[in-house]
């Protein structure tokens, strides 16, 4: 039996994202392609989207979706990992910021900004993972990356603890937000708890616990097209679908639209079979979900 689809997991704290994939291989079989759409730190909990079978071809689209996190930050101390799993160092003579100071510092982190990843992260330095170098005690410098933080809302503040909800785009490190906020306020800061609540329309309310059995995992799979449900559909004939699945371009009215360049191809049976791109008035297949 083959499995295809998307499964939203509620990752527990202490497990790595790879641990979750390994668990899923026991549900769907060791030969089934499975990947996740966005790593969560071991300390973090919440939404981890698994793509199974042909749905792995759509991981990049899920990774591009906006995300929502809820984080508890402890001010007045730093961590070498920027979270509670690292070595904590209290900041000497740290004082509580005022609410105005806090809001101003958080406001400076909102928008399209340059953000340096944590030293203990999967970011690469000359081809090596930063966390490998950090664990070996080697000195290195990570380059800042452009990320987009849509909003940071304070939902609780009683120094030294701060609770926030962050809405952001791809590649944002919430640990870096805590670190940079602490530096800006002059008191230090690190993540105490972190939960990812949403990735696009995949939410914690539909997430499945990791301790399920194979039958439940299969029941909770949703169709792969959920990853591209915001792409406009291009309805094609069976012959056109076959051409696309064979890697050939087709002439189609959708290619003349000016409001989109990516489309989800739907065949006569109502199944999404491919992702195509409008090129020179034609539709070019770029992701094929079923075989010709």
Q: What is the pLDDT along the chain (292 residues), one digit of tens a residue?
A: 688 899 999 999 999 999 999 999 999 999 999 999 989 999 999 999 999 999 999 999 999 999 999 999 999 999 999 999 999 999 999 999 999 999 999 999 999 999 998 887 666 766 667 666 667 666 667 889 999 999 999 999 999 999 999 999 999 999 999 999 999 999 999 999 999 999 999 999 999 999 999 999 999 999 999 999 999 999 999 999 999 999 999 999 888 888 888 999 988 888 888 999 999 889 999 999 875 4
**Do 137 and 183 sit in the same domain of this protein?**
yes
Predicted pLDDT at 292? 47
Backbone angles phi, psi at 253, to 5 degrees: -60, -30
**Do 75 and 182 sit in the same domain of this protein?**
yes
Predicted pLDDT at 159? 98
CB proximity list for 125: less than 8 A, separation 6 or greater: 133, 140, 141, 142
The CATH number of the domain where 21 resides is what? 3.30.2350.10
d(CA 223, CA 237): 21
**Do 220 and 265 sit in the same domain of this protein?**
no
Predicted pLDDT at 136? 65
Total structural domains within the chain: 3
Of 227, 245, 268, at which residue does a domain stop? 227
- pTM exceeding the 0.85 threshold for the entire prediction: yes
**Do 54 and 113 sit in the same domain of this protein?**
no
Structure tokens at 183: 């530096």
| Strand ranges in 122-259 using DSSP code E only, listed in sequence order | 124-125, 128-129, 145-158, 161-168, 189-199, 202-203, 233-235, 250-251
d(CA 25, CA 32): 7
Dihedral of the alpha carbons of 165, 44, 55, 21, in degrees to the nearest 10: -170
Under the phi-then-psi rule, with left for phi > 0, alpha for psi from -120 to 50, and beta for the rest, what region is 173? beta
Q: Is 41 a catalytic residue?
A: yes
**Do 32 and 143 sit in the same domain of this protein?**
no
Give strand pairing partners of 203: 198
d(CA 180, CA 171): 16
How far from 122 is each of 20, 183, 217, 239, 292, CA to CA, in Å?
17, 22, 29, 44, 37
The 10 Å Cβ neighbour count of residue 239 is 9
| Catalytic position from the list 4, 10, 19, 41 | 41
**Do 137 and 218 sit in the same domain of this protein?**
no
Domain with 36, as residue range(s), is 5-65+201-227
């Amino acid at each position: 039996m083959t499995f295809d689809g998307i499964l939203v997991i509620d990752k527990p704290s202490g497990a790595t994202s790879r641990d979750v994939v390994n668990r899923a291989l026991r549900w769907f079989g060791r030969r089934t392609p499975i990947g996740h759409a966005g790593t969560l730190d071991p300390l973090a909990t919440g939404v981890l989207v698994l793509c199974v079978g042909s749905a792995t071809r759509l991981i990049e689209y899920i990774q591009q979706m906006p995300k929502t996190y809820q984080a508890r930050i402890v001010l007045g101390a730093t961590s070498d990992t920027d979270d509670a799993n690292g070595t904590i160092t209290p900041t000497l003579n740290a004082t509580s910021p005022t609410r105005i100071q806090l809001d101003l510092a958080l406001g400076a982190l909102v928008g399209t900004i340059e953000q340096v990843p944590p030293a203990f992260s999967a970011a690469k330095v000359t081809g090596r993972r930063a966390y490998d170098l950090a664990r070996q005690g080697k000195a290195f410098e990570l380059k800042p990356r452009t990320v987009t933080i849509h909003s940071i809302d304070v939902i609780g503040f009683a120094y030294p603890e701060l609770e926030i909800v962050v809405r952001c785009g791809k590649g944002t490190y919430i640990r870096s937000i805590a670190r940079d906020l602490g530096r800006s306020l002059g008191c230090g800061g690190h993540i105490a708890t972190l939960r990812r609540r949403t990735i696009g329309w995949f939410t914690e309310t539909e997430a499945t616990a990791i301790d399920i059995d194979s039958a439940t995992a299969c029941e909770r799979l949703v169709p792969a097209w959920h990853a591209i449900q915001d792409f406009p559909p291009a309805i094609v004939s069976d012959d056109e679908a076959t051409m696309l699945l064979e890697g050939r371009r087709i002439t189609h009215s959708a290619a003349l639209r000016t409001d989109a360049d990516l489309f989800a191809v739907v065949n006569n049976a109502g199944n999404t079979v491919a992702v195509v791109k409008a090129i020179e008035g034609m539709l070019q297949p770029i992701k094929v979900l079923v075989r010709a």
